[in-house]
Amino acid sequence: MSSPSHVPVLLDRVVSLLAPALERDGAVLVDCTLGLGGHSEAVLARIAAARVVGIDRDPAALELASARLAPYGDRFTGVHAVYDEIPSVLRDLGMSHADGVLFDLGVSSMQLDVRERGFAYAEDAPLDMRMDGTTGPTAADVLNTYDAADLTRVLREYGEEKFARKIAAAIVREREKEPFARSGRLVELLYAEIPAPARRTGGHPAKRTFQALRMEVNDELAVLRRAIPAAIDAIGVGGRVVVESYHSLEDRLVKQAFTAATRSDVPEDLPFVPAGSEPALRLVTRGAEKASPEEIDENPRAASVRLRAIERVRERGAA
């Protein structure tokens, strides 16, 4: 089996955003997308007071990260869960709140670099793409059972694929000859269906379709839509939620949730905000922060990152 590598995106900036919330004794970070544990390891190494609860829906990633973080002893706890389950994870661990919550969204190095998982279009592999390989439909199931309209919707919405309808029709036509099972055959179809001028721009022609299938298989947007409000609810005063997104739909959901959480209920035409009516949360970042050209040169996966952070400044409903 091939081995994964891991270069955390915006590592120093993420740790600096989380640090003010984690520098008190016993402070807890919930790393909702543990992956191979790069961000968690940096927090444990640099912030002596912090503990980390690492969540991952991928048992293989959880096993590797737990081994990596074993030197930190009981300062690290790994949990097999989906990240919209934050409330129950904290409750099961006897914790009333978190001090920091981190999301590093999208596909991880763990999944991309291990060929057998079927996430990467550069290698021929089984069309799986499940982050938790123990449950749920695979990418092959989607390709072989969705009708043309649903395939078009998935490719257009999640992959922003201009040729979604053409590709969907070809998938339906080709699966009648033989069901889809491996990524190589899908890549061949995409090369055949996407016109040559379009193939020469915008990266690999399979990139958008593979992204769309992955997001559909793992129900990523629906999970995120539940998870961000749950994370905001989970943090105490001084706590922060930090999110790295790599897709415009993900970033839009995060932006909308953060905007709603920091909006005042006071009517806009009121000349002042009465004491006790201030929003309970504030934005820490101005807009979405991006990676520097230098980091993108070193780590191409940083090219599309959008980083946002929010902080709770007072208790909900506090006067």
Binding site for S-adenosyl-L-methionine: what residues are annotated?
37-39, 56, 83, 104, 111
Residues placed in the known binding site:
37-39, 56, 83, 104, 111
**By the 8 A CB rule, do 192 and 206 touch?**
no
Residue found by looking up tokens 């989380």 in the block: 18
Helix (H, G, I), strand (E, B) or coil at 268: coil
Pairing between β-strand 76-80 and β-strand 51-56 as defined by DSSP bridges: parallel
> Residue 232: phi, psi to the nearest 5?
-60, -40
Q: How far is CA 179 from the centre of its chain?
A: 30
Burial 55-88 (b: 16+ CB within 10 A, else e): bbbbebbbebbbebbeebeebbbbbbbbbbbbee
Give Rg (Cα) of the chain.
21
CB 236, CB 97: distance < 8 Å: yes
Residues comprising the chain, all counted: 319
Q: At residue 163, what are phi and psi to the nearest 5 degrees?
A: -105, 30
